[in-house]
Amino acid sequence: MSGLLLFLQYAVNLAFVILGLLTLRDWLVHRERSRGYLALAIGLLAITALIGQVQTFFGNPFGEAGTDVDALVFLASAYAMLLFRSSFIPLSRRGHLLALGGLALAGALFIGANLPQRPEAQLSVFQQAVVIVFVLAWAACVGEPLFRFLQASQSRPAVQRARLRSLAAGYLSIFLILLVAAFGGSLATHPYVVLAIDLAALASVPLIYASFAPPSWLRRLWREPEESAFAAAVKELLLFSPTRERLAERAVEWALRLVGADAAFIADADGEVLAARGMDAGAARRLQARLGAFGEEQVVPVPDGPIQSAIVVPLTLADGNGALVVLSGPFTPIFGTDEVTRLGQYGTNITAGLDRAVLTERIAALERTKTEFLNLASHELRGPITVLRGYLSMLQGGMLGSVSPEFGEVLPVLTAKSDEMNSLIEQMIEAARLEEGRLELSPVRADLRDIALRALETVKPFATSSHPVLFEGQEKEIPVLVDRRRIETVVSNLLSNAIKYSPDGGEVRISFGQDNGFALLKVTDRGVGIDPKSMEKLFTRFGRIVTPSTRHISGTGLGLYLSRELARRHGGDITAESAPGKGSTFVLTVPVADE
């Protein structure tokens, strides 16, 4: 057992010396203040371990001076840890003074107590008290940062959270070892207790190392719990972000979380900062100007500022190259291939999302333009068509004198066409009102059969002898609570479409029914029919299904769109069943009125 314990003691001391060298190397590479304090804290612990090893090998050649120096270096490591804590969780001036005063008092008492060199020697009451003060001073300066690290880790991204907890766990091991050594009495010298202490000390080394230089596989493991949330965030980013600015804000948040960085921003192709986190937009613009443009993602030092590095990911947008810039911080992992690859892949998602947002905004602008055109065109056409219909009505009534037989034959056709044009204008006006949210209903109790009859009278001029319209009414009233004029427009649209899209003739049938509180009106024709694959386009705004057999039929593509929207505003719907060459059946449903 003694040989194993001696080997473990050497291993612990060597591990801490190597750990100190690694932290020094990390600081030399990055030259960040926080890394410097951490390197100092761990390096001083390594010096303490090295002094102890020298004393073991050479029998304490420095005497009491060597022990005193070892103790002061050990206390200094605690203050360095406090400075490290203060680099990202600021400590007040009073706190610094209390810590320095407590450590200075503990050091002075330790030197004045003349503690025996041999660990098995008996201590006086005063010396025991000095040891307790010494341990408590070190423990207070290290324990407070441990608590702060654990507290700060709660609100940090996964990588930062794991690093803080790893550092806290490593120092907690040393903390507990010191308490056992100081207050364990004879138990602390038991071989099995010594074995446990050495193993705990060895375990603390990789924990502390992982806190400032975790390997890429460990960072991936730390991120694993966030992967499902990240996938959901990417989906939301690509599909549901309403504007480019909102999308950029969400993207920056996840860029920070992916690598555990402290600041990031996204710049547009023209240099405009779309979103920034951890820095203001002005600082982001200045940094973007200093960094310049990059052709591929890479790690670069941040010029003219605190010593830190940045990952720059070009965003190849449709209108030029933007950039995602992520800056390191006190607890950022060393930027390497893992982080660069990860952010490069994420940058592709951001690019797609930003371009989609631009496309969405352009489509929205186009839709607004369409609505404005409908408003403008319909109102400009309404005046002339009203005048034209007025004169045609006067001609038919003989108010402008008699007309020739030839003109008398043409007059009904002109009247029908003017009515058709007026119907198209009304559709355009209603569609514009619908898009702008200005469409209001005036529901009254009515009989759906009467509404259908009035609609039938409207379309009769378009029905020829080859298009007989069969009205399969029923004796019993079908009470509905609807905007009578608008439902009449819906039925007229269905009837006129049935006639138009039956170029070879065939009967058009109107029938009624009721089902589960809804009144049903069916319009069936024997026309050209509709391919089921085209059904989705059927009820869209300006959606027309053009085939060789329907290419010559005029229309705006607004009728069915407007009809379905009006039906749905009433709490009903319009559905269709059709097959090419076999005709179509359109079913209007509206709620039955309460008795």
Annotate 178-228 with DSSP letters as a single string.
HHHHHH-GGGGGSHHHHHHHHHHHHHHHHHHHHHHS--HHHHHHHHGGGHH
Res 480: pLDDT: 92
End-to-end C-alpha distance for the chain, whole angstroms:
97
The top-level CATH class assigned to 441-591 is alpha beta
Q: Cβ distance 347 to 228 under 8 Å?
A: no
Q: Where are the beta strands (DSSP E) in 352-449?
A: 444-447
Nearest to 169 by CA among 203, 212, 196, 216: 203
SS3 5: helix
Res 185: pLDDT: 56
**Fold held by 224-354:** Beta-Lactamase (3.30.450)
Backbone φ and ψ for 309, nearest 5 degrees, come out as -115, 165
Backbone φ and ψ for 151, nearest 5 degrees, come out as -65, -45
Q: What does the pLDDT look like over 23-50, one tens digit per residue?
A: 788 778 767 777 788 888 888 878 887 7
| pLDDT tens for the chain, residues 1 to 595 | 667 766 776 676 777 778 778 878 877 876 777 778 888 888 887 888 777 666 666 555 555 666 778 788 888 888 888 888 787 677 788 888 888 888 888 888 888 777 665 555 566 778 778 888 888 888 888 888 888 778 777 767 777 788 888 888 887 887 777 666 666 555 556 677 667 777 877 788 788 778 777 887 887 788 777 777 788 778 877 777 778 888 888 889 888 888 778 889 999 888 889 999 988 888 888 888 888 777 788 888 777 666 678 888 998 888 888 899 998 876 665 666 677 888 888 888 888 888 887 777 777 777 677 666 666 666 667 677 777 777 777 877 777 777 777 777 778 778 777 777 777 777 777 777 777 677 788 899 999 999 999 888 878 776 667 778 888 877 788 999 999 988 998 998 899 888 888 877 788 899 998 888 899 999 999 888 888 877 778 888 776 776 666 665 666 677 888 888 889 999 999 999 988 888 899 999 999 987 6
- Cα–Cα distance list, 85 to 113, 142, 303, 331, 334 (Å): 31, 9, 26, 11, 19
Res 504: pLDDT: 78
**Sequence ranges of the chain with CATH classification 3.30.565.10:** 441-591
Res 589: pLDDT: 94
Residue 311 makes CB contacts below 8 A (sequence gap 6+) with 259, 297, 298, 299, 325, 326, 335, 339, 340, 343
> How far from chain centre, in Å, is Cα 163?
25
**Sequence ranges of the chain with CATH classification 3.30.450.40:** 224-354
Q: Cβ distance 349 to 383 under 8 Å?
A: no
Radius of gyration (C-alpha) of the chain in whole angstroms: 42
Structure tokens at 178: 């010191």
SS3 400: coil
Residue carrying the six token digits 């059904």: 535
Alpha-carbon span 430 to 486, nearest angstrom: 10
Backbone φ and ψ for 571, nearest 5 degrees, come out as 90, 10
pTM over 0.95: no
Alpha-carbon span 574 to 521, nearest angstrom: 10
As to burial, measured by CB atoms within 10 angstroms (0-12 exposed, 13-18 middle, 19+ buried), residue 214 is: buried
Res 573: pLDDT: 94
Res 321: pLDDT: 86
> How far from chain centre, in Å, is Cα 287?
25
CB burial string 390-411: b at 16+ within 10 A, e below: eebeebeeeeeeeeeeeeeeee
Element (H, E) at 87: none
Nearest to 172 by CA among 133, 203, 210, 209: 203
Q: Cβ distance 544 to 559 under 8 Å?
A: no
Select the CATH number that applies to the domain covering 2-214 from these four: 3.40.50.1000, 3.40.50.720, 1.20.1070.10, 3.30.1490.20. 1.20.1070.10
Residue carrying the six token digits 């009254």: 444
Annotate 520-573 with DSSP letters as a single string.
EEEEE--SS---GGGHHHHTSTT-----TTTTT----S-HHHHHHHHHHHTT-E
The residue count of the chain comes to 595
**Sequence ranges of the chain with CATH classification 1.20.1070.10:** 2-214
Residue 95 makes CB contacts below 8 A (sequence gap 6+) with none
Structure tokens at 251: 């993207």
Amino acid (one-letter) located at 444: V
